[in-house]
Every structure is written in structure tokens, then in C-alpha cells.
Amino acid sequence: MFMADKNKNMDMDKTMRVGVVGAGWIAEKAAITLNGLRECECNAIASRSLAKAEEFASQWNVPKAYGSYAELIADPEIDLVYVATPHSHHYDVTRQAILAGKPCLVEKAFMANHAQAEAIVKLAHERKVFLAEAIWTRYQPAVGIVRGLIDSGRIGTPRLVTATLGYSMGDKPRIMRPDLCGGALLDLGVYALNFVRMFFDADIKSIESQCVKSATGMDLTNAISLVLADGVLCNLQSSAACVGDNIGVIAGTDGNLIIDNINNPQKITVNTHDRVFVEDIHVPKQITGYEYQFQVCRQALAEGLLEPREMPHAETLYIMQLMDGLRQKWGVHYPMDDEKW
Ligand SMILES: NC(=O)c1ccc[n+]([C@@H]2O[C@H](COP(=O)([O-])OP(=O)(O)OC[C@H]3O[C@@H](n4cnc5c(N)ncnc54)[C@H](OP(=O)(O)O)[C@@H]3O)[C@@H](O)[C@H]2O)c1
């Protein structure tokens, strides 16, 4: 675990002031979430357009609006920069923030590819700046609940994992355009891969996969089959072209767990032999489900960590490498893949 200099640690009596970069869809969810937390605050919003930033600030009660990302990064009051641009722009924004010594929480997919991810993690380590991937499911209470159920042996030995995530979002430029790192994998498939890795850390022995592409060459719908070294088979699907059931199932020798849903688990159903219902476990009441990632960042900054325990850099890099391999097989190519980072 990488640690920062102790004298830079966040004071746990203080509110963590978050600066949000990019005034889009997820930025709104972040503002709603932060507005609901006492220990955190959405302190500033940055957009490429000042008018858009000001509108966002007035709608969500944000004290400061900036018409450039650089101004927010330079603001000495910001404790954490939350990078909420398309994946294609995560690298540049995060690099600028790290160079300015600002802790960063970066939306998923973390970067365009593994090379970018490796370069940015290296920079954060060199500069001793906290860096985390905003893969919200990793920070949520469902992780501990499901792990506990598996470890308790209630479903016997896990043998099969299935997970689907699908949203009809083929109208979004950031899904369709290669220069915005489009496709379902980096946007949605990343959750399915994390769903497996949150509960199973055995090496991947083999991968089979296929996808259906858009006219722009991005994966719109994909299917990935993994065999893990401990004999667990995982069938994962994601689609930006249809509405999925978004359910995850962990099937064991003595029963199964049904997780509804893999993109913000609300309910875990436990079934035993012959699919006999045992119980439904509901997660605690949430603001949006995004609060946990901000709370984890605040705690990590107080402890002087440079990465969250819940999602270490090695894990982010592992997932990025997996996604590079899948895209390479499918011929889903981004302009960033041709550059050195
Ligand atoms: N965790 C989750 O549940 C979740 C959900 C949705 C999205 N996300 C992630 O959040 C990130 C943003 O997604 P989103 O749905 O919020 O996207 P979005 O609505 O398109 O917003 C992205 C924002 O990024 C900024 N931006 C900078 N350069 C841009 C460019 N060249 N083209 C378009 N926008 C650009 C824009 O803000 P300004 O115009 O204000 O500069 C834009 O509003 C993605 O990485 C995505 O994977 C996460």
C-alpha cells in the first residue's frame, strides 16, 4: 500500500472539498450525492464553458464555477479532483491534477488503455499523490455482504458466475466515437469484469469472447467467457444497444446468490439446493450509491494512503490490461492506442 507524507493528511474534522471536472451526466449525480453528505462538499465545478459551469453551479448549489479545467485544478481549496469527462480525456485531466499535487478520483473506465493507466499510476507514485478509480461498485456495502455469504459456505463451492449489463445508449457520442474511447466494454463491461474480480481473485486461465460492432467500429454488444484457475467459469455480457436484466448470479454446489443489480446492488437473494428461496438481503439505504467512493477517498486521505484499499492500483491496471486484450481481439481501436504514454 502506497502512503503519502503524513503532514499532508486530510483532517477528519474537516469537510472534504471536491472539485468536479466536466459538467455532464455523472457530474450531476456526483453533485446530488455530495449535497447529501455532511463530511463532503461539491466545492467547485469546471466546464470548458463558463456559462455551462455557472448553470450547473446554480442548479446544484455549488459555490464555485470555472470556465476551464485548469482553473479548478489550481484552486488551493480543492481537496479532491473528481474527473468526470469521457474516458478519452481522463489521462490529460488527471495528469495535470497530479502534477499540481491534487488527489484524484477518476471515473471508470480509468484510462483509454493500459499504457495510459500505467503511466498515470507511475506519475502518482513518483509525486506521492492519491489516485483512485471511481468504479463505485467496489466501494459499496454489497461487496462485503456477498463476500461474507460466499465465505460462509452457504452456496457451497462457487462454480459458475453470470453477469449482464445493458443500457440502450447507442445515441451517445462517447459510446460511438473511437476518439472518445467508445464501446460497451469500457463503459459497461468494466462492471462485469469487476463483478468477477471483486469476489474471485484466482488467475484467469483462458478467455473466449466476441462482439457486435457499430458502424464506427466500437463494440456495441459483447460476450466474454473466462475460466479461472480454481475452476470457476464466468460468462459476462455487456451491451450499449439494449436494456439488460443487469443481474449477476454466483452459482455454487449448494445454492446460488442473485445480485440485483451488478451496477448498483440493491438486493442479494440467497437460494439453496433446488433453487429454494432462503432470504433477500437489502443493502443499507443510500443517497445514490456514489457516496461510498467519496467517503473512502476522504478516509484514505486522512490515513495518508495513495490508493484505496478497496480498489488498489494493481487491480485497476489488471482490468485495463484485460480490456486491452479484448479490444485487440475484436479490432476495437482508439487513436490513443497508437501513442506512447
Ligand atoms: N460511475 C457511473 O455510474 C458512471 C455513469 C455514467 C458515466 N460514467 C463515467 O463518467 C464519465 C463521463 O460520462 P458522462 O455520462 O457523464 O458523459 P457526458 O454526459 O457526455 O459528460 C462528459 C463531460 O465531459 C466533458 N468533456 C470534455 N471533453 C469532452 C469531449 N471532447 N466530448 C464530450 N465531453 C467532453 C464535458 O463537460 P464540459 O462540456 O462541461 O467541459 C461533458 O459534459 C465517463 O468516463 C463514464 O464512463 C460513470
Same domain, 109 and 223: no
From the CA of 172, give the closest atom in ligand 1. Answer: 20
The CATH number of residue 48's host domain is 3.40.50.720
Asked if 194 contacts 315 with a C-beta cutoff of 8 angstroms, the reply is no
Closest residue CA from atom 5 of ligand 1: 26
Note whether 79 and 17 are same-domain residues.
yes
Mutation test residue for ligand 1: of 116, 174, 323, the one with most atoms within 8 Å of CB: 174
Going from the Cα of 169 to the center of ligand 1, the distance in angstroms, rounded, reads: 13
Ligand 1 pocket by C-beta < 6 Å: which residues? 22-26, 47-49, 52, 84-87, 89, 107-108, 134, 136, 174, 180, 187
CATH number of the domain encompassing residue 254: 3.30.360.10
Q: What is the CA(197)–ligand 1 centre distance, in A?
A: 25
> What confidence score (pLDDT) does residue 5 get?
56
Q: Could you tell me if 176 and 218 lie in one domain?
A: yes
Quick check: is 160 in a domain? yes
Judge if 92 and 219 occupy the same domain.
no
Domain count, the chain: 2
Whether 334 maps to a domain, the answer reads no
Domain holding 66, by residue range, is: 6-137+291-310
Helix (H) or strand (E) holding 316: helix 313-330
263 with 160, same domain: the answer is yes
- In a domain, residue 321? The reply is no
User: Do 304 and 3 contact (CB within 8 A), yes or no?
Assistant: yes
Return the closest-CA partner of residue 287 out of 140, 148, 144.
140
Cα 227 to its chain centre, rounded Å, is 23
Are residues 48 and 161 both part of a single domain?
Answer: no
Ligand 1 centroid vs 81 CA: distance in angstroms?
A: 14
Task: Give the model's pLDDT for residue 13.
Answer: 83
Residues 178 and 119 in one domain: no
Predicted confidence at residue 1, as pLDDT, reads 63
222 inside domain: yes
Expressed in angstroms and rounded, the spacing between residue 83 Cα and the centre of ligand 1 is 9
Residue spans of the chain under pLDDT 70: 1-8
Q: Please tell me the distance between residue 186's alpha carbon and the centre of ligand 1 in angstroms.
A: 13
pLDDT, residue 6, reads 47
Same domain, 173 and 278: yes
Rounded Cα gap, residues 20 and 73, in angstroms: 10
| 322 falls within a domain | no
Verify that 71 and 96 share a domain, yes or no: yes
Do 205 and 242 have their domain in common?
A: yes
DSSP codes, 198-234: HH--SPEEEEEEEEEE-TTS-EEEEEEEEEETTS-EE
d(CA 66, CA 84): 15
282 CA to centre of ligand 1 in angstroms? 30
**pLDDT, tens digit, 9 for 90 and up, residues 112-134:** 999 999 999 999 999 999 999 99
